[in-house]
Amino acid sequence: MAEVCPVVGTTNTVLPPQHPSFDADQPGLVCPLTKATTDHHHNLHKHPGIFDNSSDLSNAGACPALSKIVSRPEQQKMDEAICPVVGTVSSVLPPDHPSTADAKDGDVCPVTNATLGHHKGKVHVHPSVENAPKGAICPVVGHA
């Protein structure tokens, strides 16, 4: 089973094509866009250089490989969508995510830098886990 990011629920380990180079082995580096740290992302890989200079590489939603991944039944069980920044990602918020009901469009997530304006209507509240027994299977990602 693919490893699932505990924060955004992605199984994608490939960086966007235009991602700047960095030393993944250097601890403490923080992405200014997503706040991802090298402390937690040792499994990331450079994107293969298969594009010409005329392609728009700024939107992961245009990637044919990601579109195919999201169409797979095992990925759909995880309710994955394509984020234009990080690629495949769960559209279900983590169970302990604060409510966004009173948030404004310009509000920014302090953990991922995601803005509500870009995610309104695209992310969903996690099913309640309040009464889940120990070792229960997550209804979103399909494992404990």
Tell me whether residue 43 is in a domain. no
Q: What's this model's pTM, rounded to 2 decimal places? A: 0.65
Tell me whether residue 93 is in a domain. yes
**C-alpha angle 13-16-17 in degrees, rounded to nearest 5:** 125
Tell me whether residue 46 is in a domain. no
Tell me whether residue 99 is in a domain. yes
- Residue 128's DSSP bridge partners are none
Tally of structural domains, the chain: 1
Nearest to 89 by CA among 99, 79, 100: 79
* Low-confidence spans in the chain with pLDDT less than 70: 1-2, 50-55, 142-144
Tell me whether residue 129 is in a domain. yes
**pLDDT tens for each residue of 68-84:** 888 887 777 777 888 88
Q: Where do the H-state alpha helices sit in the chain?
A: 64-70, 73-76, 116-119
CA torsion angle for 101, 7, 115, 118 (degrees, to 10)? -90
Tell me whether residue 74 is in a domain. yes
Q: Which domain holds residue 97?
A: 1-16+57-144
Q: Supply the pLDDT for residue 1.
A: 56
Tell me whether residue 11 is in a domain. yes
